[in-house]
Amino acid sequence: MYQRAKYLPVGDNALLVEFGSTINLNINRRVHALDHVISKAKLKGVKECVPTYRSLLIYYDPSETSYEPLIFQTKDLEAKLDESSVFAHERVLEVPVVYGNEYGTDLGSVARYHGLQEDEVIRLHSGRDYTVYMIGFVAGFPYLGEVAEEIATPRLKTPRLRVPAGSVGVAEKQTGIYPCESPGGWQVIGRTPLKLFDIEKRPPTLVLPGDTVRFRPVGKEEFENLSRDE
């Protein structure tokens, strides 16, 4: 974490508040805490905020506010920031996953990369709770962390053109779920039948930053049954 947050102009209509340059839960909590208080404060002219791992991008309408007053107001809120209040909701989501075979085509290579059995990779991946750091990349894609060192694996050398919806992937110490079919370079180790993004719902995503996600290994049969229910 930086000693002091960086305030940077982005283009002609946004302000970036950057708290650090790494994937780190304390940094991420500050990002979401600031996002939370800005939305509560209803600052005039603020149109939209985008929280990520380590920074908050604040879009504003220049006909309603301007850059300097916005920095001033944001710094004021940042000075009083209380991270403990934001993730108080403690939502836990259990995500059923069928690992390996045609559902997780890279499970074998991830296991080989680390000299593990496939079962051990499954046990390690499903054996801990993950925090949702942010939603990004495509609609509803949750970035989760962090996976055990023993299964942290680099991205594919050549990204796939098509990764099926529901695919559960690993990239370094991150894990995530593809909400829809899309190109992608993460190591796909399994698939969930859950629908992660729904345009009819508010919010449209199944999980939100700060939520806890727990993967539960299931068999093909349960996967197919759950798929029918979704």
Residues 6+ apart with CB under 8 A from 54: 18, 19, 20, 21, 22, 23, 24, 27, 28, 31
Query: CB 207 → another protein: shortest distance, Å?
Result: 10
Question: What residues make contact with another protein under the rule CB under 8 A?
Answer: 8-14, 16, 18, 21-23, 35, 47-55, 57, 59, 62-63, 66-67, 134-141, 143, 179-180, 182, 197, 199, 203-205
Helix (H), strand (E) at residue 33: helix 25-41
CA atoms of 37 and 166, how far apart (whole Å): 33
Cβ neighbours of 83 (radius 10 Å): 16
* Smaller CB separation from another protein, 56 or 189: 56
Task: Work out how close the CB of 18 gets to another protein at its nearest, in angstroms, rounded to a whole number.
Answer: 7
Nearest distance from C-beta of residue 49 to another protein, angstroms: 7
Nearest approach, Cβ of residue 177 and another protein (Å): 12
52 backbone dihedrals φ, ψ, rounded to 5°: -130, -170
Identity of the residue, 39 or 225, whose beta carbon is nearer to another protein in the bound complex: 39
Give per-residue burial for 93-109: e unless 16+ CB within 10 Å, then b. Answer: bebbbbbbeebbbbbee
Residue closer to another protein by CB (options 116, 139) is 139
Tokens of 121: 């990779």
CB 175 within 8 A of CB 144: yes
Nearer to another protein, 157 or 221 (CB): 157
**Shortest Cβ distance from residue 127 to another protein (Å)?**
25
Residue whose structure tokens are 């495509």: 138
- Give me the least distance between CB of 196 and another protein, in Å please: 10
Nearer to another protein, 31 or 107 (CB): 31
**By C-beta, is 18 or 83 nearer to another protein?**
18
